[in-house]
Each structure stands twice: as C-alpha cells, then as structure tokens.
C-alpha cells in the first residue's frame, strides 16, 4: 500500500484521538499532514510534537498565537479560521481526510474535502443529516471516495456487496438494520426520566464519546441521525431502514438480503476498528482493539425500540420523510436543545419537546441550495432558543 497522507479534522476529539492511535501503530502506512482542533491547545500541541504535521489549525487568532508559542522550534505552521480548515481539507499533498469535527461546523471542511476528490473518512454525521443531497453530489462531482466511520454505517458498508452502486434492489438488498445500544436509560423507570442529569446522560454503558453524541445516544436521537445518514450513504428509503436495540454493542449493524440472508459486522465496541477499516481500505491493518471473545460475552440480545421512551427516534423518521430542509431543522434544534440540557437550562424530557415544537413551527422548507439550508439551520436555532428560553424563564 502507498503511504497515505492525512488531514485529521477534529484531531483533539474522541474520534481524532482514536485515529491518531491507529496511525501511530502504522508509521510506514500513514503520515499526518494536518491536524485541527478548537479549544484544547495543549493537547493539539502534544499531538503536533508526536506526529510532526506540516499544518495545525485552530478556529481563532488567540488560540493560534498560544499554539505557536507552545510549538516554538517545531516545523509546524499554525493557521486559523474556517478558511484554513477548508484549505487543509483540500491540500494537494493530502489524499485522505478524516472528517471528525462535531456538529454543523464539520460540514464546510467535509464539503471542501469531497469537492477536492479526497478519500473522505466521514465521522461527522451532521454533514449528511444537514446537507445529504449536496454532500453526496459533491462526492460525485469531485470524484471523492466516501468511507463511513460511524460504527453502524461502517458495519453496513462492510456487509454490503462489493462495488455497491447505490441501488439496493439491483443488489438484492431488502433492508438495512441499524443496531442501537439503547444508551444509559434503556431500562430505567420511565417515570424518572424527567429527573435525569447531564452526568447520567453522558455515562454511556459501552462507548466513550464526546458529550454531545453521548446525550444523543441517551435520547436515541443519535440513531435517528444515523437513519438519515444511512439514507444518504446507501440510497435507502426510510421504510428500508430499521432500528433494533442490541445492548451489548457487538453486532454493529446488518444488511438483509432478498434470500433471507442477514450479513453483519461484529467487533468489540471500539471506534478504532471502523477507523482502521476506513484508513486502510481495502486492505486490513491491526487497530489495537481487543479480539472478540464470544464465549466470554456469552449472550447477544435484540429488542424493538420503545417509541414512548425514545420519541427522538420517531422525530428523525418524521424529518426524513418530510424531506427538504426538515433534517437540517431537526439537527439544529437538537444541537441547541442538547447544549441547553448539558448547561442545566432545560430538563432531559424537554430535548424532544423542543425539537418537536421546532419541527412543527418550521416544517420542511426548501433545500434547493446550501444557502437555503443554512437559513433553515439559523431559523431552527432561533426557534429552538426561544422555546428553550421559556423553560429557563
């Protein structure tokens, strides 16, 4: 395999750190050209000392100055701002871009990488939720290769036929089955959900993740966003995507074929497996994960999601079916609501209420340009903030 030259967007986050862990195991295969981060300057500096990238990018000038001081004597150029993120996502000397910024901020640099025809390792699911149509078009126009990092979609990708063309029927695929752990509140007494704290919500039973996505796992909005993500990645209609709860997080997702076969990908719940898969694809490299010990695990169980406990899942299907800008509205309202919850401004159950009310108010809206989607995103945030303020008042 040729040496792969990487940009890692969101290097200081959970996915970024796991990516660097895999990269460090294979210095002969992967070279880091650019790393980006937002607030954790010390951590970014440490990563730069270890991986010696050509560029390090942060969002604002003050942080850039602080980082320059920390990196004095090192041959890493420090840049800042959104344009710099887009630039390192599309550098000619880079062939592979890990898109692991969290939230809507990840969209632009991921688009830049797609337009530049990179191998895009997409962790930032919000890109597909907000702007699936544009992003997939950019991948096509740019001649980019899209490899999913989200563990479920990576599992679906691995369980799909080789050279899948985006036509489920032509490949004999009946449906995609996304697994969900059910998060920390799967079995909690439903009447006590009103009192859930942010600390309880971010304590995921199987995965260690950023705070926002951890809350999304507790509400199952994460799975809802993943349904939308699967729609775009695999060209599957909402009725061809089902969710099944699997608390052990060993089966990461499945593909059901017309002959009754169900193919699955199994592994320890460790993001280094999908990351290593996508980094080396189509080859395979070690990821540092524990080997799957099925006798020790013993039991794999499955159950249907309870929509009363997880209203956010139904909201995501509703947004996907509404189409247009509805998924962007859903995503923006969710980001605002989760942030408010994490900052103790609204109770847990209000997350779904705020999203539902925002969808009611704004509906779908046009999605015929990126500007229209941005406008929907902004309108949804304004509406959600107003709804949140009522709680706080």
Binding site residues, Mg ion, CB under 5 A: 150-152
Q: Which of the stretches 47-55, 124-132, 139-147, 315-323 binds ligand NAD when contact is defined by CB under 6 A? A: 124-132
Nearer of residues 103 and 365 to ligand NAD, judged by Cβ: 103
Note whether 358 binds ligand NAD by CB under 6 A.
no
Note whether 224 binds ligand NAD by CB under 6 A.
no
CB 330 within 8 A of CB 338: no
> Largest Cα–Cα distance in the chain?
62
Q: x/- string (CB under 6 A) for ligand NAD, residues 175-214? A: --------------------------------x-xx--x-
**Binders in 248-287 for ligand NAD, by CB under 6 A:** 271
**Binders in 11-40 for ligand NAD, by CB under 6 A:** 11-16, 37-39
Nearer of residues 41 and 379 to ligand NAD, judged by Cβ: 41
**Binders in 53-72 for ligand NAD, by CB under 6 A:** 59
How far apart, in whole angstroms, are the C-alpha atoms of residue 356 and residue 343?
20
Q: Which of the stretches 95-103, 130-138, 248-256, 355-363 binds ligand NAD when contact is defined by CB under 6 A? A: 95-103
- Classify 6 as helix, strand or coil: strand
Nearer of residues 327 and 357 to ligand NAD, judged by Cβ: 327
How far apart, in whole angstroms, are the C-alpha atoms of residue 195 and residue 187?
15
Binding residue (CB under 6 A) for ligand NAD from 102, 340, 352, 380? 102
**Gap between the terminal Cα atoms of the chain:** 59
Instruction: Tell me the Ramachandran region of residue 64: left when phi exceeds 0, alpha when psi lies from -120 to 50, beta otherwise.
Output: alpha
Question: From the CB of 106, what's the least distance to ligand NAD, in Å?
Answer: 6
Note whether 101 binds ligand NAD by CB under 6 A.
yes
Binding residue (CB under 6 A) for ligand NAD from 4, 54, 125, 277? 125
Sheet holding 173-180, edge to edge: 241-245, 173-180, 251-257, 262-266
Q: % helix / strand / coil in the chain, to the nearest 5?
A: 50, 15, 35
Q: For residue 175, what are its two tokens? A: 């449906």
Nearer of residues 94 and 202 to Mg ion, judged by Cβ: 202
Report the Cα 146 to chain-centroid distance in Å.
13
15 interface partner picked from Mg ion, ligand NAD, none, CB below 5 to 8 A per type: ligand NAD
215 interface partner picked from Mg ion, ligand NAD, none, CB below 5 to 8 A per type: none
CB 216 within 8 A of CB 351: no
100 interface partner picked from Mg ion, ligand NAD, none, CB below 5 to 8 A per type: ligand NAD
CB 333 within 8 A of CB 355: yes
Q: Please choose, from the candidates 334, 311, 318, 345, the residue with its C-alpha nearest in 3D space to the C-alpha of residue 384.
A: 334
Q: Please choose, from the candidates 339, 336, 323, the residue with its C-alpha nearest in 3D space to the C-alpha of residue 379.
A: 336
183 interface partner picked from ligand NAD, Mg ion, none, CB below 5 to 8 A per type: none
SS3 string, 216-271, reads HHHHCHHHHHHHHHHHHHHCCCHHHEEEEECCCCCEEEEEEECCCCEEEEECCCCC
Question: From the CB of 226, what's the least distance to Mg ion, in Å?
Answer: 6
Residues found near ligand NAD in the complex (CB under 6 A): 10-16, 37-39, 59, 100-102, 105-106, 123-126, 150, 207, 209-210, 213, 271
């Amino acid at each position: 395999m040729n040496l792969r030259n990487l940009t890692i967007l969101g290097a200081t986050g959970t996915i970024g750190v796991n990516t660097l862990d895999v990269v460090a195991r294979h210095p002969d295969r992967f070279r880091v050209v650019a790393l980006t981060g937002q607030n954790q300057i010390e951590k970014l500096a440490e990563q730069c000392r270890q991986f010696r990238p050509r560029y390090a990018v942060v969002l604002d000038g003050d942080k850039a100055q602080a980082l320059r001081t920390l990196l004095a004597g090192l041959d890493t150029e420090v840049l800042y701002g959104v344009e710099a993120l887009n630039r390192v996502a599309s550098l000619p000397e880079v062939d592979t871009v890990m898109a692991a910024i969290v939230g809507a901020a990840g969209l632009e640099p991921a688009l830049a990488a797609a337009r530049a025809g990179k191998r895009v390792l997409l962790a930032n699911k919000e890109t597909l939720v907000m702007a699936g149509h544009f992003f997939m078009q950019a991948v096509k126009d740019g001649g980019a290769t899209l490899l999913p990092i989200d563990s479920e979609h990576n599992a679906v990708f691995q369980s799909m036929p080789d050279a899948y063309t985006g036509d489920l029927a032509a490949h004999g695929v009946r449906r995609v089955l996304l697994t969900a752990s059910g998060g920390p509140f799967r079995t909690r007494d439903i009447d006590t959900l009103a009192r859930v704290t942010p600390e309880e919500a971010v304590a995921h039973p199987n995965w260690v993740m950023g705070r926002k996505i951890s809350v999304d796992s507790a509400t199952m909005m994460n799975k809802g966003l993943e349904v939308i993500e699967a729609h775009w990645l695999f060209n599957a209609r909402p009725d061809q995507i089902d969710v099944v709860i699997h608390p052990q997080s060993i089966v990461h997702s499945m593909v059901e074929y017309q002959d009754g076969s169900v193919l699955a990908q199994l592994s320890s719940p460790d993001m280094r497996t999908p990351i290593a898969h996508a980094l080396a694809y189509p080859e395979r490299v070690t990821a540092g994960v524990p080997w799957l010990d099925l006798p020790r695990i013993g039991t794999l169980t499955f159950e249907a999601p309870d929509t009363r406990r997880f209203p956010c899942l139904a909201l995501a299907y509703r947004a996907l079916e509404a189409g247009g800008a509805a998924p962007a509205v859903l995503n923006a309202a969710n980001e605002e609501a989760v942030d408010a919850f994490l900052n103790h401004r609204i109770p847990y159950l209000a997350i779904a209420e705020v999203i539902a009310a925002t969808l009611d108010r704004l509906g779908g809206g046009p999605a015929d340009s990126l500007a229209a989607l941005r406008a929907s995103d902004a309108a949804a945030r304004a509406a959600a903030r107003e709804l949140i303020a009522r709680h706080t008042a």
